[in-house]
Structure formats: structure tokens, C-alpha cells
Structure 1
Amino acid sequence: MKTKLFLLSIVSFIQFAYADITLPRIFGDNMVLQRESEVYLYGWASPNETFNITTGWDGKTIEVKTGINAKWRVQVTTPKAGGPYEIEFNGNKNTIKLKNVLIGEVWLASGQSNMEWSANSGIVDAATEIQNARYPNIRLFTVDKRTATTPQEYVSGDWEICSPETMADFSAVAYFFARRVQEEMNIPVGLIDASWGASSAEVWTPEYVFDEHPQLKESHKLIKTNQWAPIERSTLYNAMIAPLTNFKISGALWYQGESNTANAQSYKDLFTKMIMSWRKEWGADFPFYYVQIAPYNYGRAHEGAIVRDQQRRALTLPNTGMVVTSDICTVDDIHPQNKQDVGLRLANIALKEHFNVLKTEVYGPLFKNFETNDRELLVHLDHANGLHFKAKSDSFFEIAGADGVYHTAKPKIRNNTVVLTAKQVSVPVSVRFAWGNTDIPGLFNAAELPTSTFSSN
């Protein structure tokens, strides 16, 4: 009996000592690693196990030892964009070989349904776009929808090579972003889509943000339950973002805001703190480019405009950029079908601000400040070169006096400045623009990019 127990102990010890090396699903065949960076490879094995990793781009072999918690993490240096390469993990019990690995640009795409929206969901020229989506150096990883009450370490999903079959169900905005970047720079692009339709920004924000800023807990109470997405704070961050924070990315793309119309006034506060928390968890001030929600007939007056203005105000956070979509929307559809131009505009911001390869204007006019001259109110805008109205329809400018009552203003353009007057306002003190939920104004700059909704208050 003692002999049998001894033998069983030996067998158990051997199984414990030589467990399989295990990798998170974010590491797999066909993946993309961030170029010219220090990136982490990580996973699990037996406690205190020693094994080797060989990186194909330089032929180096690294010895790795797990901790007592059975986790391991090692930093490797990636080369310039290229590939394909292999990465081999050689343990005492198993060997893992990752094949067809590319080195390039890795971008995370997140938000709600307009980011999740695919060609199969319905976009302009869907059949043609799907048929032409043959870009083997664009790789796609869709994070499976999950929730969690605490931050997790593992996401479910697989890297896929971009093809008509895989592109058709992937984020269309992210795909068009990657296609534009690759065409301009001729480098591999890896996209990670972690989005969930109808989700509010609160579910994508770590819980400690709410602990540090109780006012955000209060504003979150205004978010109503819906049938499409969880509303509990941090649940999607915990399950779909936290497990990615050790995986090196170049930047993030975001398309969300429709589900925060209920607490629109606090969106800038929430959104900027969410961005800062993501950067903190990744340990990098990566670029964060986002899409302003489009005009749509929301339930309460002005709530969509307030979110748009809050998104504009979030640009005060460094290394951010915003795409305005008022000219490529339909006010009766909360899911505009033109995802091509959205992805193109996001990519152009990245190409100019992050990659420094584009010289053209990539932003529409943005409110800077105003001044008054007797009955006139002069609006100064950034990115206003070649300012013009495309149509003679309602300009959507309003000004108010000390009583706070807004009146439609008559606009003139003078040296790329908008000059406003209203018969009812003798001493103007404030101005707002496109302040209706469905306002689609026609004020553009020379790059034919539209002016953002704004309020001077």
C-alpha cells in the first residue's frame, strides 16, 4: 500500500512539474505584433518551470521561468514591419509553434454597435466591398462577448487573415481604417475588435475610476436597462479589455456615445477618464481616435447634440482626435451605412498625427472662441481655412443675450470667421451651433469636412 501511494505521489509530482505551456488566445497563428517595440509574450505553465522561447525574426532563444503562481511573462524586441515569422515555445511537456506571424501596426477598436457593425449588417456597396476584401496582410481578431465582475486575464477569439469571408462579419469601420493605413504605408495591420452594441461608456471603464470619482456613479444611475447590452459598471472592461492590457497596441479607435444620451452632460468627464484609465493600464499614452455620434432623432430635445459637444470638448485630452459624421449620416437611422468614410477619416487622422506621413487637413472646423462687436458675434474656428456653406438652408447658428434665450442668427463668412447677428439680440453673450438632435448643417472647410456641433457655454 505504501509503495502504491509513493508511486502515485511520484506520478502526481511529474504531472505537476511538467504541465503544458498555455498561451492566451490573443497569441495565435496569423497574429500581428507591434513593430519596433518591446512587446510582452506571456501565459501559464507549471510553477517554477523553465522553458525556452525562440523568436523567428532574429533567431534568439530566451529562457523563461514561471513564478510560483504558474504565470510567466517575457519582453522581446520586435523588428521593422515584415514577416511572416514563427515563434516557438519549447517546454518539458509540450511545444507550441505560432505560424504566419506578422510584425506591423496593432490597433484596438471598441465601442457600441456602430463600431461592431459589419458589411453583412449592411453598408454602402456591401457586396463589392466584401468581394474586394482580399488583404492577407490585414489580420482580424474579434473578442467574443463576455462579462465579468472582476478584471480577467483571458479573452476568447482567433486571429484571421482578411478575406471576403472574414471581413464580412468584422467591424467595417476598423477594416476601412486598416485598408487605408496599409495602402498608404504598405505594412501589416492587426485589428482587435472588442465592441458590444448598445453599450454605454460606463461598462468599458474600470471600477476604480468610479471609486475615485463618485459623481460618475451618480450619473450612471441615469442609464436605463436595455435588451441588447449589460449596463453594470466595468463589466465589459473586466472581460474584454483588461485581458488585452499586456498586449502591445499602437492605438485605439472608438465609436460610441448613443447609449450615453441619458446622462449626456457628464460624457466628457466619463469619457476622458476612461481613456486615461486605459492608457494607465497599458502603461502608454497611445493615440485615441474616436467618432462623434451622428445626428439622429433621439427622444429628448438636444440630448444628441449635447453628447456631440461633450465629445468635442474631450479633445482637450492630449493625443486624441475626432471624426465628425454629420454629412454622412441619415437622421432616421442610428446606424449610418457609410462606414467607408468613417474609417477613412479615422485613418487620415492617424496618418497625419501618429504616422506623420500625411500633410493635408484631416479635421473639420472646431470652435475656438468668440468675440462681440456691438450687435455682432464673431465665431473663431480652428481648421477653418476655406470656410464655406454648401447650401443656403438653415445655418443652425443661434445666439443669446443675457436672458439666455437663443434666437436663430444670420451668418456671414468674413476671412474664415463666422459673423452672426439676430434682430432679437442686441448684446450677444453666447452662441451655439447645430444644437438640434437632427441638425445637419452645411458649414465646411476647404477639405470638405464638416463643422462640429458646439456651444460656447
Structure 2
Amino acid sequence: MSKSSFLITLLLPVLFLFMVHDVRGNVQLPAVFSNHMVLQQNSEVTVWGWAKTGEEVTVIPSWNNTPIKVKADNLAKWQVKLQTPAAGGGPYTIKVQGYNTIEIEDVLIGEVWLCSGQSNMEWTARAGIDHAAEEVPKANYPSIRFFSVQHRTADAPQLDLNGEWVVCTPKTMIDFSAVGYFFGRELYQNLNVPVGLINSSWGGTPAEIWMNADTIAADKELAEAAAELKEVEWGPVQPGKAYNAMIAPLIPFKIAGALWYQGEANTGNPEEYAQLLPALIRNWRSEWNSKFPFYFVQIAPWKDYAPQQGVLLRDAQRRSLRVPNTGMVVVSDIGNNDNIHPTNKIDVGVRLANWALNKTYGKKDIVFSGPLYRDMKVEGKKIRIFFDHIGKGLVTKGKELTGFEIAGPDQKFVKANAKIDGNTVVVQAKSVKNPVAVRFEWSNAVDPNLFNTAGLPASSFRTDDWKVQ
């Protein structure tokens, strides 16, 4: 036997083993299942992946060591349901066995939130936030975990994405969503449970790209508005492009709720947003098969929007609160009229957390919203404005209440005198004898001074539905 023949004979069993391993090592998991992840507590969570058709897959979570078996279907897919315990134990492991074995380590059980939107959600401490020099070194929270979704687009819903879970440290926090981090920290400090934060956001993008394109196509008005979006160099504008690549692969990973900070890119057609945002919320809830809470941030005032486009978008967001189980954070007092990216991200995150702590987690002593317009009543030459979320009362910061305008049937608004009267505001102007409508802080750039006693600002609003010129 030649030397070469001898070597081939010797290596054949080894080569065969490699071939078998390559063919049979088929169990795979999506990227969202990785070491250091957080799973939603007290829930039935779905774990899914891929394997060789007909391959038996066994999933064993260490919190109960109960094996759950399933076979991959004819599309090479499998999924199982796991019942998670209450937060407080762990860290756990999850073993996934087929022809090969995957072990996910350092798994925590707690509260999982999805963060999405455009640049103000994506904004990091590295990009520049207030008190970054103090906050970054303090960001050592082993029970807070981050998952960052990389920018991708796709023409159809994808099965997986790139990313991994990481533990919150100064090194990881500095490049994660600042709003998301401060939200998560507030939840952790108040609930004392692990918090998982998934950030899937992209600066400068319109809401249309974050929805299933079929949702847009099924609505004539939304489809027409989407067709008017102009191409930009910094990101996609076509419906569904980010949804397909950055949201769909996360479904049905169990989440407690969603946070949304977006709208600046939709100011070109602001009144459409009152339909667009509710449609996005319904779309996500339908895809997840869950009526999870959806808390969003009203865009901050900025002087360089086209006339009235910024305030019209803010008002469209306010009107989106008609969707059940939603909440809106007003940031007009902590924005920057000269900067579309206000650097106070701490209070934004805290205010989002207050919505969640009160409405989702039952902390009823926490005031979570500033005054929101509810109703009006004409009283002779005056109009009385009624609000929700007044806390222990309305207050003004300054000697006089400002920002109110009033109009008669001619639809011409003039500056009004406004006074707090109990839990209401009474508005009037000498030149308007027969008032029919009121607007508040109706400008792209504002400096509000109407608050509740908890120090939260009132949202801009209008009582009319007249066409804005």
C-alpha cells in the first residue's frame, strides 16, 4: 500500500465523522436567544428555531428541568412554549438538544421592553446627553440587559437578524439607546427585577417603514401618503423595509410592552399621523398576538420645521391616545427649540417609566402625565377648558399663563388671556365676542408654562378641526 493510500485509509473515518456532524448538526436558534438574555416573567414564552426536517428537538429550562420535545416540521422549523417563573431566581440556563446541543447561559427572568423609533430613540450617551460624564460610569447594572438590532432592510419579513444580548456596563451603556437605558434603570430601581431592553431604531426614518407593508397597502389614505415620501440618503422610506428586517425577526419573542419615539420624519404630512400611529400600534399588536402597552414620546418643539408642521404632528400624536392601553410623554419643557435632538434624555426615560410603573405595574402613587385636553365649554364671551391628568391641581410657571389663542366663527385666532380657575382654565379675548375655539401652544417652537403640581407640562392642543392654512 502506498503512503498516500495509507493516509487516505487512516483519515476516512475522521472525514466521515466531520461529514456526519455537518449534516446532522442542524439545531439553530435566532440571535435573540443568546447568553445573557432576559425572558418575560410569569408568561408563556415561545422559543423557536430550525433543525433538520423531522429532527427531534428537546428544550430543557433549568428553572424546572422539564424537557419539552418537538419535531422540526417540513419547513425545518420548530417551536415550543415555556412557562416562565416569577423574577427573582437565576441566572438560568436553557439547553436545546437535537443532533447537536446548544446551551444558553446566564438567562434572567424579568421584564422585557422593545424600544423603537428614529434618532431620538437611537441617541446614545456617546452621541452626547446631559450629565453623560456622571451617568456613564454609574451604569453598572448586571440585571439590566441590552439587545441592539443592527440597521437592515428587506423586501419581505425575515426569520433572523444580527445581534446579541449584553450586560449593562459603562462600556455597553454608552452605545445603547439613552432613553431606553434610563427607562430600564427606573423600572429596575422601582420593581427590583431584571430588565431586558431591545433597541430597534433608525435615525431619520418615517413610521411607514416600521409597519408591515400590507397594513399600508390596505388603507388608501395611508398608501397615498406613503407614496409621497421622498427618498433620503440616510435611510429607507418605503413601507415595511425596516419592519421586515428589524421587527419581524423578533416576533413572537415575548415582551411586556413597546416604547416609541418617532415622528420628526413624518412632519411633511403631519395630519396623516393621527391614522398612521394607531395603525402601527394595531399592526404590532396583531403580529405579536398581544395587546401589550404602547408608550410613546411626543416629538419635542423645534423652530425649523415648516410652518405648523411640528405642532400638527404633536397634536396628531395626542389624538392617537384614543387607542387603548397607550400613553404619551410630553417633553416640550425639556426640549430645545434650536436642536431637534434635545440632550436631556434622562427625564424622557423617567417619564416613560412612570407611565409603565403606574399603568402597567400598578404603582398608583406615581403621577405619569401632564394635563391633557379633554373638553371645552363656551360661557358667554369665555371658553372653559377641562383637562385630564391634573394631579393635585394646575399651576403656572411665571406670573401669567401664556400660549393660549381664541377664535370666533371667522376662524381667526388671536392671543388670549387665560387664567387657572380651580381645575380648569378660562380663556377670553376682548376682540372675540362670540368665541368657538381655543388653541394652546400652537407653534413649532414653544416654551410652555402650564403644568400640574407634579411638574409635568400640558400638551399643545386645539379644540377645532378646521383646515390649517
Q: CA deviation at 1:238?
A: 0.7
Contact 1:32-1:104 within 8 A present in 2 as well: yes
Give SS of 2:222's match.
helix
Match of 2:388 in 1: 382
Q: Report Cα offsets for 1:21-48 as digits up to 9, x if no partner.
A: 1100000000000101000110001001
C-alpha displacement of 1:60? 0.8
Residue 14 of structure 1: CA displacement? 5.6
Distance 1:51 1:255 in 2: 39
1:246-261 superposed matches below 5 A: 246-261=252-267
In structure 2, how many angstroms separate the alpha carbons of the residues matched to 1:244 and 1:415?
Answer: 48
TM-score by length of structure 2 reads 0.93
Deviations 1:49-92 (CA, angstroms, capped at 9, x unpaired): 01321110011111121001100001110001132000111222
1:427 to 405, 410, 434: 434
Letter matched to residue 217 of structure 1: A
Match of 2:121 in 1: 115
Amino acid of the structure 2 residue aligned with 1:250: A
Deviations 1:256-314 (A, max 9, x none): 01111001011010000100000000000000000000110133111110011111100
Q: Tell me which amino acid in the other structure corresponds to 2:293.
A: P
Alignment of 1:441 onto 2:465: no
Amino acid at match of 1:344: V
* Pairing partner for 1:170 from 151, 170, 176: 176
The correspondence for 1:195, drawn from 194, 197, 201, is 201
Shift of 1:175: 0.3
TM alignment of 1:221-300, pairs within 5 A: 221-300=227-306
Give the match for residue 307 of structure 1. 313
Aligned amino acid, residue 132 of structure 2: A
Aligned: 1:86 with 2:84: no
Identity among equivalent positions (%) equals 47
**Which residue identity does 1:167 align to in structure 2?**
M
- Aligned with residue 329 of structure 2, among 314, 320, 323: 323
Q: 1:178 to 1:299 in 2, by over 3 A?
A: closer
Conservation of the 8 A alpha-carbon contact between 1:348 and 1:358: no
Q: Which amino acid aligns with 1:429?
A: V
Contact 2:357 2:366 in 1 (8 A): no
Q: Deviations over 1:315-365 (max 9, x none)?
A: 010000010001101100111111000000000110000000241321100
Distance 1:210 1:398 in 2: 36
The alignment status of 1:355 with 2:347, answered yes or no, reads no
How big is the shift at 1:394?
A: 6.7
Secondary structure at the aligned position of 1:262 is classed as coil
**Matched position secondary structure for 2:285:** helix
For residue 364 of structure 1, what is the amino acid of its counterpart?
Answer: G
Which residue identity is paired with 2:189?
E
CA distance in 1, matches of 2:61, 2:367: 41
Match of 1:51 among 57, 62, 65: 57
What residue number does 2:419 align with? 412
SS in 1 for 2:267: helix
Instruction: Say if 2:401 and 2:450, in contact at 8 Å, map to a contact too.
Output: no
2:149–2:198 CA contact under 8 A, matched in 1: yes
Q: Residues 329, 53 of structure 1: CA spacing in aligned structure 2 closer, same or farther, 3 A cutoff?
A: same
**Partner residue, 2:344:** 338
Query: SS of the counterpart of 1:41?
Result: strand
2:232 and 2:338 map into 1 onto residues whose CA distance is 20
CA deviations 1:121-170 (Å, max 9, x no partner) are: 10011011110000000000000110011111111101000000000000
Contact 1:222 1:262 in 2 (8 A): no
Between stretches 133-142 and 52-61, larger displacement belongs to: 52-61
d(CA) in 2 for partners of 1:299 and 1:104? 41
Aligned residue for 2:403?
Answer: 396
Q: Distance in 1 between matches of 2:72 and 2:232?
A: 43
The residue identity in structure 2 corresponding to 1:163 is: T
Which residue is 2:5 aligned to? none
Q: Matched residue of 2:197: which SS? A: strand
Q: Measure, in 2, the Cα distance between the counterparts of 1:418 and 1:222.
A: 40
CA distance in 2, matches of 1:225, 1:416: 47
- TM-score by length of structure 1 reads 0.95
Read off the aligned partner of 1:427 and give its amino acid letter.
N
Greater Cα offset, 165-174 or 215-224: 215-224
* Cα displacement (A) at 1:443: 0.2
Structure 2: 5+ residue runs without aligned partners?
1-15, 465-469
**Equivalent of 2:47 in 41, 51, 55:** 41
- Structure 2 match to 1:131: 137
Letter in 1 for 2:375: N
Superposition pairs of residues 144-155 of structure 1, within 5 angstroms: 144-155=150-161
Q: 2:437, 2:122 → 1: CA distance?
A: 38
Segment of structure 1 superposing worse, 168-177 or 60-69: 60-69
Tell me the CA shift for residue 12 of structure 1: 12
Unaligned runs of 5+ in 1: 1-9
Q: Secondary structure at the match of 2:54?
A: coil
For residues 413-444 of structure 1, what are the alpha-carbon distances to aligned partners after superposition, in whole Å with 9 as ceiling and x for unaligned? 11121111112211111111111100121000
Q: Tell me which residue corresponds to 2:7.
A: none
Letter in 2 for 1:101: V
Which residue in 1 is equivalent to 2:9?
Answer: none
